[in-house]
């Protein structure tokens, strides 16, 4: 068997570690005089590790988390109200096993998206599939499907992941069709897995988000069944950071002008 044929065979067998590290592994086995049993044991262990690593990479790509700050950077002292213990409990992923939804409620700029993405990232690292989507992006995507077959396939995109994050629901108003589509997503996921939703609008005011929806009561009822609701009360942290950057820029510019004088 030629080297190219061997590489092709290893690829077909999904033996990715050995395909990439063949020469190094043969040299190691020769140097340490591995027995046939030891060769198989070492190879099995490293293929499993490589498979696990590749699985994490695939799930991270599929999750579409984008850029976000790690939970370690969250300023717990900033909000006037936040249940830190509840957030840390969510990071332990008990809600995933229970298929219990999570609603993060609060004004813009208080870290809802950051928290939701960190929870989803924990789920991915624990072996679960996840998908993070903006509410407008998801609902527009679903509304644009031109046939029942296409719509069913696209609905499965949002129903299939073990954890779904729907971010920023409430900043725009949507049609009755959009409300019906959201209801189908939440209903489809009812037993399949939890949905993490971030919103700046309390449920009592969701008629401003879906002003003509007849399914609104059923939608909220289905979403809220076995749901964990965490309210965050705080001034916008993004505005705080922007003000601090502006202040720093003014100070730096002033110091530079003084040096030029």
Query: Residue 220: which CATH number?
Result: 3.40.50.300
Number of domains in the chain: 2
Domain-embedded: residue 258: no
CB atoms within 10 A of CB 87: 21
Domain-embedded: residue 247: no
Assess whether 83 and 117 both reside in one domain: yes
pLDDT at 251: 57
Name the domain boundary from 62, 82, 99. Answer: 62
Assess whether 32 and 129 both reside in one domain: no
Assess whether 94 and 163 both reside in one domain: yes
Buried b or exposed e, range 9-44, using 16+ CB within 10 angstroms? ebeeeebbbbbeeeeebeeebeeeebeeeeeeeebe
CB atoms within 10 A of CB 46: 16
**Residue 16 pLDDT exceeds 80:** yes
Assess whether 149 and 46 both reside in one domain: no
Name the domain boundary from 17, 43, 62. Answer: 62
Assess whether 15 and 115 both reside in one domain: no
Name the domain boundary from 15, 35, 62. Answer: 62
Q: What is the pTM of this model?
A: 0.85
The domain containing residue 143 runs over which residues? 71-239
Assess whether 15 and 107 both reside in one domain: no
Which residues lie below 8 Å from residue 234, measured CB to CB, with a gap of 6+? 78, 79, 80, 81, 82, 106, 107, 110, 111
Confidence of residue 1 (pLDDT cuts 50, 70, 90): confident
The model's pLDDT over 113-124, given as tens digits with 9 standing for 90+, comes to 999 999 999 999
Assess whether 29 and 154 both reside in one domain: no
Domain-embedded: residue 234: yes
Confidence of residue 36 (pLDDT cuts 50, 70, 90): very high
Return mean pLDDT, the chain.
Answer: 92
Question: Maximum distance among all alpha carbons in the chain?
Answer: 78
Token pair 């340490």 in the structure block, residue: 32
Domain-embedded: residue 253: no
Q: Residue 202: left if φ>0, alpha if ψ -120 to 50, beta else—which one?
A: beta
Calculate mean pLDDT across residues 151-175. 96
Assess whether 78 and 204 both reside in one domain: yes
pLDDT at 246: 66
Domain-embedded: residue 121: yes
Domain-embedded: residue 256: no
Domain-embedded: residue 33: yes
Assess whether 95 and 40 both reside in one domain: no
Assess whether 82 and 196 both reside in one domain: yes
Domain-embedded: residue 230: yes
Assess whether 90 and 212 both reside in one domain: yes
Assess whether 32 and 83 both reside in one domain: no
Radius of gyration of the chain (CA): 25
């Amino acid at each position: 068997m030629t080297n190219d044929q061997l590489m092709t065979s290893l690829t077909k067998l999904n033996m990715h570690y050995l395909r990439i590290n063949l020469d190094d592994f043969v040299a190691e086995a020769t140097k340490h005089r591995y027995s046939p049993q030891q060769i198989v044991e070492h190879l099995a262990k490293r293929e499993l590790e490589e498979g696990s690593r590749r699985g994490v990479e695939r799930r991270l790509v599929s999750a579409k988390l984008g850029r976000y700050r790690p939970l370690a950077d969250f300023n717990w002292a900033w909000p006037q109200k936040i249940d830190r213990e509840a957030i840390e409990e969510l990071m332990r992923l008990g809600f995933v096993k229970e298929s219990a939804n999570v609603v993060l409620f609060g004004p813009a700029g208080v870290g809802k998206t950051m928290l939701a993405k960190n929870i989803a990232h924990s789920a991915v690292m624990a072996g679960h599939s996840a998908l993070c989507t903006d509410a407008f992006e998801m609902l527009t995507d679903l509304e644009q499907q031109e046939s029942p077959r296409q719509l069913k396939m696209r609905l499965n995109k949002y129903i299939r992941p073990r954890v779904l994050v729907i971010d920023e629901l409430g900043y725009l108003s949507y049609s009755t069709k959009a409300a019906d589509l959201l209801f189908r997503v939440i209903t489809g996921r009812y037993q399949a897995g939890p949905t993490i939703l971030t919103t700046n609008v309390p449920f009592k005011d969701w008629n401003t988000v879906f002003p003509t929806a007849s399914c609104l009561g059923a939608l909220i009822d289905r979403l809220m069944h076995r749901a964990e609701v965490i309210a965050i009360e705080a001034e916008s942290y993004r505005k705080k950071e922007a003000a601090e950057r502006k202040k720093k820029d003014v100070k730096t510019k002033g110091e530079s002008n003084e040096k030029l004088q």
